[in-house]
Amino acid sequence: SPSSSSSPLTTTSSQPRLSMTFTCTVEGCGERSTHQFTKRSYERGIVLVECPGCKNRHLIADHLGWFKFGTEEGKNPTIEDILRSKEEKVRRGSLGAGGVVEYYD
């Protein structure tokens, strides 16, 4: 049977994934949370994550041009680009064997 448009999309575990931790900037919230998404959606599609505190959705990546207001008309398609354009620091890291987290600029 055809799938319903309200059914969530699923991804296979073989797709590379990214993880992001951030602090919500909505006034009065300040919730810190971690979210995972596919590398492909971050680099080629759209990623929105929902804050567990205030339930606001935050734009993380838009390579399809749906949210022009948040990406300076598409000039800054990812959260990293958006933060750099505001001269804010972006920290990248990796999760290694044994749960070791390494950060680098």
State how far the Cα of 90 lies from the Cα of 80, in Å rounded to an integer.
6
Structural domain contains residue 3: no
Q: Give the Å distances, CA to CA, from 103 to 42, 90, 91, 96, 100.
A: 19, 10, 7, 11, 10
Query: Which whole-number Å values give the CA distances from 25 to 56, 73, 103, in the listed order?
Result: 10, 22, 22
**Structural domain harbouring 62:** 17-104
Q: What CA–CA distance (Å, rounded) separates 15 from 48?
A: 18
pTM > 0.85: yes or no = no
- Does residue 9 belong to any structural domain of this protein? no
- Give the chain's domain count: 1
Q: Is residue 91 part of a domain?
A: yes
Q: Could you tell me if residue 10 is inside a domain?
A: no
Neighbours of 70 (CB within 10 A): 14
4-30 per-position pLDDT tens digit: 445 455 555 688 999 999 899 999 999
User: Does the residue 93 lie in any domain?
Assistant: yes
Q: 10 Å Cβ neighbour count for 71?
A: 21
> pLDDT tens-digit profile of 53-83?
999 999 999 999 898 877 777 788 898 898 8
Q: Which long-range contacts (CB under 8 A, 24 or more apart) does 81-87 make?
A: none
What pLDDT sits at residue 73? 79
* Average pLDDT taken over every residue of the chain: 84
- Percent with pLDDT over 90 in the chain: 43
